[in-house]
Chains A and B, each alone.
Chain A
């Protein structure tokens, strides 16, 4: 048995997970329209390679990854591309982003799939395949998995599977582990092979006994060496750094990556889709989404990427009194600006919001410096100080208090007796700091260009002056020679060939 460690702080919000785990994963009827954003992952957006009006097959590449950190985008079903333009997406700004609108033809016709046995492929080949299959972290950060598998000088000893799923309401990973445990383990073994890791550990919170049983059974059936670690239920125990600490006792240093301390962590759903991508040749086209909250049939659904939220929730029957939808969990999720935005690779849960489930928040009161936020902060920060600095726009100080180590888990806001939306202040401060550092970079570049221009103008001036001086000198010399020649012609009537050659072209 593994020794488990405890991270600082954490909270115990009511889990609300039972209602969406009563039934298995259901399918959603093919939607009438799919809107597939080209930016569904961390890093650079994919570049569209299809045109409006073009017919595509299910699994066909429609956006190619650009740059080092990027992901591929595929058509989720067969049909016709109706448009490639800016559409509203799930983003806190409510601003549109470039998307492909796909009208399904109802045939769900696959492109040619190439299944492969990973043992016959090198880690490089597998990484390239994962990149082109658009496999990204499905836990929420949507970081391209292939980049996490590229280790460089680091050596990974432990591969951790994240099955903690600590946020209330969300049960998509739970259901996936219950129903598809064997494929998760096969995928884990494949990732272990790519990383060259020695051991696999899966961390599951102790409120998911069925998932734990399913994984244990799958370990027995497949014979894959994987340690099932049952960890205490606490929010945010599913945070990467928190889970690594609980399972290994190691702390990922500030600003460093887990790989640097010999650990790499993947969400169970990511591992599952990596397995489907290699072993079945299926790119990431769908994911499991929990539909819960103010609906008649809270349940997990297998949803095609790009399905509009309103078509997904319709399957679960929205009850009256629904005021809107949250994408993600109640702690870190995002209130959707429109209910027509598409579900993306990052969407693990949709909660229908009603006044009963989420009562109107009490107005924020002044901070009384009770430091309850300090007690629950899983990263050992001083949230009350960060709030103070962010509020007074003292960004330098906020940064020196490790603002960028904040994982925005919302535990501080959850316990705040003054109902201060602390995380919003941190997000504000973080984005202001990022803007400023970008502006500073731009200013430095502008200074460099300006200084070079001044130098160039100066150089041109001196070059001109030198040229002019040389010309004048040549003219003078020519005159002198001509005078001398005139003198000598009195005796010798011959033209001096040297003087003629020395004359600048312009004068001859």
Chain B
């Protein structure tokens, strides 16, 4: 009886020690759920969700402080992905958050005065230029967040929809008209 108790207690102590040690040794830094949510978000860093970037929004979702329908660039599909990830029901966009067409910023180089305000606003360093020098947008890096539009004192930045070309064209969902034979 006593030996059995001792054995069980001994085993419990050893296992507890192992668990305790590994909890410290293999501790996961940060919230892994935040990383997963952040991976689904489109990384435009636009702040349209009301948070200062994708990671803060991901953190808010993980903490339950924000709904999953606040990301317009992600679109309906983004909501669906978040719903799948979190095991909740997808909810439609509400109020003034609506998905919009993908676009990139364009600086009218004749009007630009070289004030660098847009460079400071760009969350992904996609605008080049220096003080009193012309600025321009690196098209390939622009996420279309529109954060550079408001700071411009001479309104020379416009958002241009990404034009379709032969390289970017995709096959469409098959749709067919019913033809009635005469």
Contacts and interface: CB of A to CB of B under 8 A. Distances in A.
Interface of A: 39, 89, 91-93, 95-97, 360, 363-364, 421, 424-425, 427-428, 430-432, 434-435, 439, 442-447, 449-450, 452-453
Scoring A39, A421, A453 by chain B CB atoms within 10 A of each residue's CB, the highest score goes to A453
B124 A425 contact: no
Interface in B31-62: 38, 41-45, 53-54
Contacts of A93: 164, 166, 169
Interface string B111-145: 00000000000011110000000000000010100
B172 interface: yes
A427 B171 contact: yes
B176 A421 contact: yes
A431 B141 contact: no
B177 to A, nearest CB: 9
B45 A450 contact: yes
B141 A421 contact: no
Contact of A428 (B126, B143, B172, B178): B172
A419 to B, nearest CB: 10
Scoring B38, B44, B45, B181 by chain A CB atoms within 10 A of each residue's CB, the highest score goes to B45
B179 A95 contact: no
A425 B179 CA distance: 20
Contacts of B45: 446, 450
Nearest to A39: B166
A424 B124 contact: no
27 contacts: A95-B169, A360-B181, A363-B176, A363-B178, A363-B179, A364-B176, A421-B174, A424-B174, A425-B174, A427-B171, A431-B170, A431-B171, A435-B170, A439-B42, A442-B143, A443-B42, A445-B141, A446-B44, A446-B141, A447-B38, A449-B126, A450-B45, A450-B53, A450-B123, A452-B125, A453-B123, A453-B125
B26 interface: no
A428 B141 contact: no
Given A363-B176, A425-B174, A450-B53, A443 B43 contact: yes
Contacts of A445: 141
Given A360-B181, A446-B124, A450-B45, A92 B141 contact: no
A95 B174 contact: no
A475 B105 CA distance: 47
Contacts, number: 68
A439 B144 CA distance: 13
Interface string B3-39: 0000000000000000000000000000000000010
B110 interface: no
A39 B169 CA distance: 15
B155 to A, nearest CB: 25
Given A360-B179, A447-B54, A428 B44 contact: no
Interface string B138-168: 0001010000000000000000000011100
A93 B38 CA distance: 34
Given A444-B43, A449-B126, 19 more contacts: A39-B166, A95-B165, A96-B166, A360-B181, A363-B176, A363-B178, A421-B174, A428-B173, A442-B43, A443-B43, A446-B44, A446-B143, A447-B38, A449-B124, A449-B141, A450-B45, A450-B54, A452-B125, A453-B125
Contacts of A39: 166
Interface residues of B, number: 27
Contacts of A449: 124-126, 141
Given A444-B43, A446-B45, A449-B125, A424 B171 contact: yes
B171 A91 contact: no
Contacts of A430: 171
Contacts of B176: 363-364, 421
A446 B169 contact: no
B166 A91 contact: yes
B174 to A, nearest CB: 4
A447 B43 contact: yes
A149 B21 CA distance: 57
A421 to B, nearest CB: 5
Nearest to B145: A446
Nearest to B178: A363
| The 5 residue pairs across chains A and B that have the minimum distance between CB atoms | A431-B170, A443-B43, A446-B43, A93-B169, A427-B171
Nearest to B169: A93
Contacts of B178: 363
B166 A97 contact: yes
A442 B162 CA distance: 15
A95 B169 CA distance: 9
Interface in B60-101: none
B125 A428 contact: no
A412 to B, nearest CB: 14
B61 to A, nearest CB: 16
Contacts of A96: 166
B82 to A, nearest CB: 14
Nearest to A95: B166
Contacts of B170: 428, 431-432, 434-435
A439 B124 CA distance: 16
A344 B179 CA distance: 33
Scoring B43, B165, B173 by chain A CB atoms within 10 A of each residue's CB, the highest score goes to B43
Scoring B44, B173, B174, B176 by chain A CB atoms within 10 A of each residue's CB, the highest score goes to B174
Nearest to A438: B168
Nearest to A451: B55
A216 to B, nearest CB: 43
B137 to A, nearest CB: 14
A95 B164 contact: yes
A39 B165 CA distance: 13
Contacts of B181: 360
Contacts of A360: 179, 181
A453 B124 contact: yes
A468 B45 CA distance: 31
A12 B126 CA distance: 55
Contacts of B165: 95
Contacts of B169: 91, 93, 95
A464 to B, nearest CB: 15
A504 to B, nearest CB: 26
Contacts of B124: 446, 449-450, 453
A452 B143 CA distance: 16
